[in-house]
Amino acid sequence: MQALLPKLILSRTKTVFIKMVKITKSLSFMASAACLSTMLFMSSCSKEDAVTPAPEATIASVQGANLREYNPIISVQKIHPTIGQLGLGSLPNGYTMTGSNMTAGLSNATYLFGNSAQPWIPATNSLPDLLGRNGTFLTLGATKDNLSGVHVKIKNLFEGKTYKFTYYVSTMAVKYSSDPGQTPYASSFIFSYIAPTSGKNYSISLAGKENQWIANSIELYGNSSTIGDLVIKLLGKNSNATSYGNIFIPENAIQEVK
């Protein structure tokens, strides 16, 4: 019996040791699994809780009353100025001829339609501070029997508001080295403002004001559509020769007054 006792103790010790190893492995596996689960949970949380950066706000290009309401500092174009590329048939942005076979284009203070073979007799006054970046203005040519005209949209006149539209006109002669010596002067301009519910004509006589720039202004009233039409026509003085009339519309020509 005494001889078997050491063997029995050794066997039991070995059994206990094996069980302890198994328990240790089991605990290690459970700890690893718990750690992995925690990592997966944290990864999932970081994906779900991450905030996608919002895109930067931009100012949209808007036409209408909202633009004035939310950003009154922005200047809204109401009519295109008479600037552009010199030449016969070249018109400012937004301008169209009212009929076919009409004479119209962009000139400067020196030449009709920028053509060096057609020099102006210089005007007695000038618009040095108003002619803008390239010194152009719109020129119409007409005879007594054939009017010439252009059409342009006026936009962003808001209901209940009053505006002042300032522009400049002239009739100038082209000097020739041979007869008849120069072109005749034009008779008058007619400005027609046509709104959806109303319209009005404004006649500007050029008699006695030849070869000079004339400042003029008219009042415009806003309506619900915010868009109106402006038609500009030139009347010639001579039935057989073309007369020329010029229109200069500066940037920001239409200003709100009340």
Number of domains in the chain: 2
As given in the structure block, the two tokens for residue 48 are 């779900």
pLDDT of 2 over the 50 cut: no
Are 112 and 38 part of one and the same domain?
A: no
Q: Which domain holds residue 6?
A: 1-49
Q: Are 247 and 140 in contact (CB under 8 A)?
A: yes
pLDDT of 234 over the 60 cut: yes
- Interval 127-145: pLDDT, tens: 766 665 568 999 999 998 8
Q: In the prediction, which pLDDT does 77 show?
A: 80
* 257 CB-near residues (< 8 Å, 6+ apart): 162, 163, 164, 219
CATH number at residue 239: 2.60.120.260
Q: In the prediction, which pLDDT does 133 show?
A: 53
- Interval 149-202: pLDDT, tens: 999 999 988 888 899 999 999 999 999 866 678 999 999 999 998 876 667 899
Taking phi first (over 0 means left), then psi (-120 to 50 degrees means alpha), and beta for anything else, what does residue 156 get? Answer: left
How many other CB atoms sit within 10 Å of the CB of residue 248? 22
Single-letter amino acid code for the residue at 173: A
As given in the structure block, the two tokens for residue 89 are 């048939």
Reference 131, options 189, 187, 86, 190; nearest CA is 86
Q: In the prediction, which pLDDT does 106 show?
A: 97
Q: In the prediction, which pLDDT does 102 show?
A: 87
With cut-offs at 50, 70 and 90, classify the pLDDT of residue 239: confident
- Interval 52-110: pLDDT, tens: 444 433 333 333 333 333 344 445 789 999 999 999 999 999 999 998 778 999 999 99
How many other CB atoms sit within 10 Å of the CB of residue 22? 10
How wide is the angle at C-alpha 185 spanned by C-alphas 109 and 124, nearest 5°? 45
In a domain, 66, yes or no: no
In a domain, 206, yes or no: yes
Q: In the prediction, which pLDDT does 156 show?
A: 87
In a domain, 28, yes or no: yes
User: Residue 103 and residue 113: Cα distance in Å, rounded?
Assistant: 10
